[in-house]
Amino acid sequence: MELLNQHVSIRKFKSQLIDSCVLESIIYSGTKASTTGNMQLYSVIVSDNDEEREKLIPLHFNQGVAKSAPVLLTFIADFNRFSKWCTMSNASPGYGNILSFFTAAIDALIFAQNVCVTAENYGLGICYLGTTTYNAKEIIQVLELPKLTFPVTTVAIGYPDELPELTDRIPLKGIIHKGKYVDYSTQEINKLYAFKESLESSKKFVAENNRESLAQVYTDVRYKKSDNEFFSLKMMEVLKEQGFLE
C-alpha cells in the first residue's frame, strides 16, 4: 500500500482549516475499524478553535506540532457510554477494571489509526502526541471526561506545510519471530541498530545532546527512567480516579 508505506509524521501545518465534512468523513472511516464485540469503546474530542487548543497545548509540553495543528483529536477509551446503556437496559455493567480499560484502549487505538490512514488519503498530515498519557489527569479536567473514560492518545492533524523525508526503520527480520520469540544476541542487536546509528541525523542528535551514543539520548534525555516512573505513578492514580481499578 503506497499510502501506508509513504507515511511520515507532519509537525508543521498550514493555517488552512479542515472542512467539517472532511473531518466527519475521516472519523466515519475510523468507526469502520474492528471493535471488541462491536461495543465501540471509544470517543473522540475535536478541539479546533483557539480557546480549545490553547488549553491542551501546554499539556502536550507546548510542542511545536501541537501549536501548529489546526485540529487536535483526543482519542478516549470510553466505557462510560456503553455502561450507561447497560444500566438503562436493566443490565449490570462490570467494566471498572484494568482488563476493561485495556480493551477500550485497544478499540480507541485501532479507531485512531484508521482515522490517521484516512486523513492521509485526504492529503492531510498527522502526528501522534505520546504526551497524552503523561498528562492524562489534566487532559481529563480540561475535556471534562467522566469516570470510565481515559485519553489514550492525541493526533495533531492539518494540511502539511513541510515534506519530511521518510524515517528509518530497523530491518524487518528484527520485528518478525517465526513460531516463538527468539531473544536477540548482542550481534543481532548490533546489526539491527547499525543503520540507525550511522545516520547523520543520529550523529547530530548525539553531539547536540553531549552523549556518547544514540541510545543515551533516549535514556538520558528523551525517555528517562525518572520521568517514566513519575508519570507511571500518576497514570495509575488517574486510572483509579477514573474508576478502572475497582
Binders of a second copy among 30-69, rule CB under 8 A? 31-34, 36-40, 42-49, 52
Question: Residue 127 and residue 111: Cα distance in Å, rounded?
Answer: 15
Closest distance to a second copy from the beta carbon of 227 (Å): 8
Contact between 28 and a second copy (CB under 8 A)? yes
Closest distance to a second copy from the beta carbon of 215 (Å): 3
Residue from 16, 146, 204, 207 in contact with a second copy (CB under 8 A):
146
8 A C-beta contact, residue 40 and residue 107: yes
Stretch of 11-19, 59-67, 156-164, 185-193 contacting a second copy, by CB under 8 A: 185-193
Nearest partner of 71 among 159, 142, 9, 145, judged by Cα: 159
H/E stretch holding 188 reads helix 186-198
Q: Is 1 or 163 the residue whose CB approaches a second copy more closely?
A: 1
Contact between 24 and a second copy (CB under 8 A)? yes
Q: Is 93 or 160 the residue whose CB approaches a second copy more closely?
A: 93
Contact between 110 and a second copy (CB under 8 A)? yes
Contact between 128 and a second copy (CB under 8 A)? yes
Closest distance to a second copy from the beta carbon of 156 (Å): 11
Query: How many other CB atoms are there within 10 angstroms of residue 242's CB atom?
Result: 23
Residue from 12, 63, 160, 231 in contact with a second copy (CB under 8 A):
231
Dihedral (CA of 150, 235, 154, 4) sign:
negative
Residue from 58, 64, 190, 208 in contact with a second copy (CB under 8 A):
190
Contact between 225 and a second copy (CB under 8 A)? yes
Question: Residue 198 and residue 185: Cα distance in Å, rounded?
Answer: 20
What cell numbers appear for 156 in the block? 495533531
The DSSP annotation for 46-88 comes to EE-SHHHHHHHGGGGTT-HHHHH-SEEEEEEEE-HHHHHHHHH
Residue with the three cell numbers 466505557: 79
Window 79-108: residues binding a second copy (CB under 8 A):
80-82, 84-86, 88-95, 97-100, 102-103, 105-106
Contact between 7 and a second copy (CB under 8 A)? yes
